[in-house]
Every structure is written in C-alpha cells, then in structure tokens.
Amino acid sequence: MTLLSILGVLSSAIFSGTSLLYTTLGEIIDQRSGIVNLGLEGVMLVSASAGFAVTAISGNPYLGMLVSVIAGGLMNLILGFLVVSRRANQLASGLALMFFGFGLSAWIGRPYVGAKIRGLPRLPLPGLSNLPVLYSSLFKFDLLIYLVIPVAILVWWLLFRTRWGLGLRAVGENADTAFASGRNPLLIRYQALFAGGLLAGLGAAHLSIAYTMNWTEYMTAGRGFIAVALVIFSKWNPIRAIVGALLFSGAVAFQLLLQSSGIQISPFLLDTIPYILTILVLIIWGGTRKHAAPASLGRVYQGTE
C-alpha cells in the first residue's frame, strides 16, 4: 500500500462525504424546528435530476447548481404545506414525498440518462500546485467542497447565535410557548423547511453535478436516510455533524483501504457500521434527555385559536 493509494482514498472520502454533510445540515434545520423530514431521499433525487438536466442543457454547472438548490427548497415546501398548514402526520407525509421524488426525478432525468456534462470546475488547493501531477490531481476540489465547512459553521451560527435561530429552536422545543412569546410557529417552520431544502439541494447538486457527473434513477442510494441517522448521531448540532459526516465517509474510505491492502471484508457489512454505531450511541445516551432532541419533534402544532 502506498501513500498515493491512501491519499486517493482520503480524497474519495471527501467527495462522498460532502453531499452527505450538506443534506445533514439541512435536516438539522428542519428537525430543530420540530419537523422530521423522511422525504429527504426524494428531495435529493429531484434536486439532483433537475440540476443535472439544467447543466446538460445550458452547459453551465453553476446554473444547474442554482436550479438544484431551488428545487430542493420547493420540494420541502410541499412537505411544509402538508405538515404545517394541513397538520398532516410528518412520517407519512415524508414517505409520500419520498415516493413523489422517486417518480418526479425519473421523469425529469430520463432524457439525460448517460448525458455528458461539464461538471463543477475543480480548483487545486493553494500551495499544492507545485506537487507532482499525480498527487495534486487528487486534491483538486470543487467549490462546494471548499464551502462545506464554512456552511456548517454558518448554520451553527444561524441556529445558536441569531434571533431567527433562537425562534426556530423555540418552535422546535415548544411551539405554543414560542407563539406566546410573539413568534409565528407556522412561518418559522416554513422558513426552516425551505432553508433545509436549499441545503439538501446543494448536497444533491454536489452528488450529480460535481461528484458522479451523471444521472441514474435512485442514484442517491439511501443518502437521505443516512442523513437522518447523522442528525441523530450529531445530536442536532451542525458542528458535530462535520465529525459525523467525516466518520461516515471515513467508513467508506476505510473499506476501500482494506480492499486495496488485500484484506477481504464484505463492503456490505462495513456499510452497516454507521447505522449500528448510531443505534449504539442512542443506547448509550439511554432514555436521558441529554441528547438534546427538540422536544416537540414530530408533533403537530394545532394552533391556538
């Protein structure tokens, strides 16, 4: 095993972890306002297909990215209409949104199966450009990768250091109290869902426009559900989500490393590690409220009339 192969694995882990982290950040915002979005898988698929289609038509990956982000926001607004305005059950609405995403993305993406696009341009890390090409080519990342950590910090700042974030978390803990203190839970939940959708759209854009650079049906392959697991794992905290996403994609990297060094462990078993780890962490936390789940997560706000 050479340094090169280790670096290669690292680089691929960064690529696969980025979309996961964006999506997780989005779900953290959703859940902090008290809404479980199980439809992430569908949201991501629609965003990924819309972004890919626009990139293929216009040839401009940034335009595709923009469309992808907006598509994510709009998809989440559908969920918002159901669970906020119509007070529907969140789990059922989320699953319905997932099925909607399966269908709509297949429809949007169908003409573009196998299409070639110019993906997001990759920019070398400053200071690494004088390395041999073999090495520097591994560390040419696209814009979204460079932005992911700042975005995580931004989300943390928004949630924990602004009045908007305070209101959002208040709604997630107890919507009635938030209402009594002069906030509008319905509006805040819509805003949270829209913001969360934008971030999920970014994640999906990275997946289809920057990372794989193609479109296939069901291409997200469970990333939406991994993101939901990651939210719990990171205790609804954007900074911890960075660690979580690194760990998840590290498991993928570890698996590649093992394979390249000739150790035979089934990749499928390694893929289960993140989920089992999350369950173990939950068990260790036990029934205590320490794990900081928003108190009214999943509850329907009935209004005060």
Partner 1 sequence: MLPMRDAIKRSGFVRQKTINAVVRYAFMIVLAFLLFGIILWISGKDPIQSYKDIFSSTLGSAYGFSEVIVTMTPLLLTALGVAIPSRIILINVGVEGQLYMGACLATWGALTFGDLPAWILLPLMMLLGMIGGSLWAFVPGYLRATGIVNETITTLLLNSVAPMIVSFFIFGFWHSPMDTNKTPNFSTSARLPTLFNTRIDLSLVLALVLLTVFWFVMKYTRWGLEMKAIGGNPQAARRNGIPVKIYLISVMCIGGAISGLAGMAQVSGFYGVLLANFSRGIGFMGFLISWLAGGSPLGILLTSFVISIIISGGNLLQLTRDLPYAVINVLLAFTLFVVLARPNFLIQRKDA
- Tell me whether residue 61 or residue 224 sits nearer to partner 1 (CB atom): 224
For the CA atoms of the chain, what is the radius of gyration? 20
Cβ 42 vs Cβ 102: under 8 Å:
yes
Closest separation in Å from C-beta 9 to partner 1:
20
Q: Which of residues 136-165 bind partner 1 (CB under 8 A)?
A: none
Instruction: State the binding string over 219-258 for partner 1 (x if CB under 8 A, else -).
Output: ---x--xx-xx--x--------------------------
Nearest to 214 by CA among 14, 53, 23: 53
Is residue 122 part of the contact set for partner 1 (CB under 8 A)? no
Instruction: State the binding string over 9-48 for partner 1 (x if CB under 8 A, else -).
Output: ---------------------------x-x----------
Q: At what angle do helices 185-205 and 223-233 cross, to 10 degrees?
A: 120
Is residue 303 part of the contact set for partner 1 (CB under 8 A)? no
Is residue 292 part of the contact set for partner 1 (CB under 8 A)? no
* Binds partner 1 (CB under 8 A): choice among 4, 86, 137, 177: 86
Burial 95-107 (b: 16+ CB within 10 A, else e): ebbbebbbebbbe
* Binds partner 1 (CB under 8 A): choice among 4, 180, 269, 292: 269
Instruction: State the binding string over 205-224 for partner 1 (x if CB under 8 A, else -).
Output: ------------x----x--
Cβ 25 vs Cβ 225: under 8 Å:
no
* Binds partner 1 (CB under 8 A): choice among 40, 44, 53, 97: 97
Which residue type, as a one-letter code, is found at position 3? L
The conformation of residue 84, written as its DSSP 8-state character, comes to I
The two tokens of residue 160 are 């924990």
Residue 289 burial (10 A CB sphere; 0-12, 13-18, 19+): exposed
Is residue 96 part of the contact set for partner 1 (CB under 8 A)? yes
The two tokens of residue 205 are 């854009």
The conformation of residue 290, written as its DSSP 8-state character, comes to G
Which one of 1-9, 54-62, 93-101, 160-168 is the stretch in contact with partner 1 (CB under 8 A)? 93-101
Closest separation in Å from C-beta 150 to partner 1:
29
* Binds partner 1 (CB under 8 A): choice among 1, 60, 103, 118: 103
Query: Rounded CA gap, 6 and 250, in Å?
Result: 12
- Tell me whether residue 205 or residue 229 sits nearer to partner 1 (CB atom): 229
Give the DSSP per-residue string, 38-82.
TTHHHHHHHHHHHHHHHHHHH--HHHHHHHHHHHHHHHHHHHHII
Instruction: State the binding string over 60-79 for partner 1 (x if CB under 8 A, else -).
Output: ------------------x-
Which residue type, as a one-letter code, is found at position 215? W
Give the angle 92-97-99 at the CA atoms, nearest 5°: 100
The conformation of residue 123, written as its DSSP 8-state character, comes to E
Is residue 276 part of the contact set for partner 1 (CB under 8 A)? yes
* Site residues, partner 1 (CB under 8 A): 36, 38, 78, 81-82, 86, 88-93, 95-100, 102-107, 110, 217, 222, 225-226, 228-229, 232, 266, 268-269, 271-272, 275-276, 278-279, 282-283, 286-287, 293, 297-300
